[in-house]
Amino acid sequence: MALSSDKGLPGLSGAYRLRWKRRRFLFRIWRKRHEITSIVDRTSDIRRDSILLFSTVRNEALRLPFFLAYYRKLGVTHFFFVDNESSDGTAEFLRQQPDVSLWHSAHSYRLSRFGMDWLGWLLWQFGHGHWCLTVDADELLVYPDCEARDLRNLTSWLDTKQRSSFGAVMVDLYPKGPLGGSSYRAGDDPTETLSWFDQGNYRSSIHAYYGNTWIQGGVRERVFFSDQPERSPTLNKTPLVRWNRRYTYVSSTHQMLPRHLHDSFDLEGKTKASGALLHTKFLPIIAEKSAEELERKQHFQNTTLYQDYHRRLASGITLWHKDAAYYDGPQKLVECGLMSKGDWV
């Protein structure tokens, strides 16, 4: 099994403190609502059974054609985007899409909790009662049998199980050669360019405060954080939720409140189905993106730690190693223990 589990401490019983923390986040979202401006509003097209997707983007014109096609095929019926000052035609492209509602913000991505304040307001306004998928433009959700059964099938099944959330492990995909050494065109399937992943170096514990399964490891820890594994990127996410106005994300989609929504992983794979987010960060544009982030300093809190990370990405480092696994479809991740079919039949 790829995921090793450390039970750790049980979640703290401070329900009162967590309740007030959730309320403070909701108040913060309400205060930040003026930081986004509507550009195109097609929300009148949303129906009661619409499945919605929410994302903050900046300069993602290369990824978005496949991203939209992929999620449309998967069953998303309406998209919400907040564009954070793109300069590559991203906003112009999104304005032309008939199933997209678009907002703009010129404010700090980092000070908006990395876009979660902005998306939180849109989720509060439009997500209530809907199954909502919150992902980045470089994340593609997969789950067992997703080629044959779309999100309508999955969410209907989750409703029958009285489950309000669906967890996913972020799986970084990378090329066999040096970063930047391959080619990619808008509209191509990124998994054909990024076809490899780490399969056996993940670990988990239970977060003492939020009570969620906390997963780390994979290629970024192996290559960039081997001397400080505790600082490596967090890989657990809860991207798919039947939304309620009382809910809020805390840190990206890694954590949320109320914390019972975290009960979406079964690392033994026996009861709860879970998915994966294919992370396509390492497309050939990674050097350009990393150089931009070194200048903007909007994607990280620890400047010293992540400056070195982005410098190495910009240098064209090779992530592949002899124990890498070849990605040939979602079933491969089930076989590696990175996602679970559980009782999803």
Q: What is the pLDDT of residues 13-25, one digit of tens each?
A: 578 899 999 999 9
Task: Calculate the dihedral angle through the C-alpha atoms of 325, 328, 334, 339, rounding to the nearest 10 degrees.
Answer: 90
DSSP H or E segment with residue 61:
none
Residue 302 clears pLDDT 70, i.e. is over it:
no
d(CA 64, CA 272): 31
Residue 11 clears pLDDT 60, i.e. is over it:
no
Least confident segment among 140-144, 150-154, 303-307: 303-307
Residue among 109, 96, 36 nearest 68 (CA): 96
CB of 114 closer than 8 Å to CB of 101: no
What does the mean pLDDT of the chain come to? Answer: 91
Least confident segment among 6-20, 192-206, 275-289: 6-20
CB of 133 closer than 8 Å to CB of 52: yes
Give the mean model confidence (pLDDT) for residues 156-161: 96
pLDDT at position 210 is: 86
Write out the two tokens for 310.
Answer: 């982005």
Residue 9 clears pLDDT 70, i.e. is over it:
no
**In this structure, how many other beta carbons lie within 10 angstroms of the beta carbon of residue 303?**
9
Residue 36: partners with Cβ closer than 8 Å, 6 or more residues away: 82, 103, 104, 105, 118, 121, 122
d(CA 275, CA 295): 34
d(CA 133, CA 163): 15
Least confident segment among 11-20, 147-156, 320-329: 11-20
pLDDT at position 159 is: 97
Give the mean model confidence (pLDDT) for residues 242-250: 97
CB of 134 closer than 8 Å to CB of 239: yes
| DSSP code for 149 | S
